[in-house]
Amino acid sequence: MAVRAIRGAVQLDEDEAGHMGRRVGELLTTVLERNGLVADDLISIWFTATPDLHSDFPAAAARSLGIVDVPLICAQELDIEGAMPRVVRILVHVETYLSRAEIHHVYLGATATLRKDIAQ
């Protein structure tokens, strides 16, 4: 079994806690499903949010999905002029038998343009 990192992102329509919870929850659920993972496979999750998001911690979405015994941390993205607004990014560390080539990184909606090299 190996430790692997999975990237992902989602853009929010608005800075509202309920909306953030739903969209980040969708992102996390999609990462797990596309990679055939369950919560017990998770080691840790890093969340980052663009500076224009203030309504809630993205990690709250993971807790609402029942991911309660996994270390989570939130941080703010750099405030770069011209960057895509209202984006939450994740870096998920997992234990898996998948090779690096088999990992499915998940960029929902418009965020697929952020990493065309790995967005699937």
Q: What is the pLDDT of residues 66-79, one digit of tens each?
A: 999 999 999 999 99
User: Rounded CA gap, 47 and 36, in Å?
Assistant: 21
* pLDDT score recorded for residue 118: 65
DSSP states of 3-71: EEEEEEEEE-SS--HHHHHHHHHHHHHHHHHHTT--GGGEEEEEEEE-TT--SS-THHHHHHTT--SS-
The model carries a pTM of 0.94
DSSP conformation class of 99: -
Structure tokens at 83: 């960057």
Percentage above 90 pLDDT, the chain: 92
* pLDDT score recorded for residue 120: 58
- Counting Cα atoms < 13 Å in the Cβ hemisphere of 59 gives 16
Query: pLDDT-based confidence at 13, cuts 50/70/90?
Result: very high
Average pLDDT, integer, range 104-117? 88
Q: Which residue, chain included where needed, has tokens 């967005």?
A: 119
Q: Is the pLDDT of residue 7 over 70?
A: yes
> How do residues 26-82 score in pLDDT, each as one tens digit?
999 999 999 999 999 999 999 999 999 999 999 999 999 999 999 999 999 999 999
- Residue 39's alpha-carbon distances to 17, 29, 101, in angstroms, are 23, 10, 21
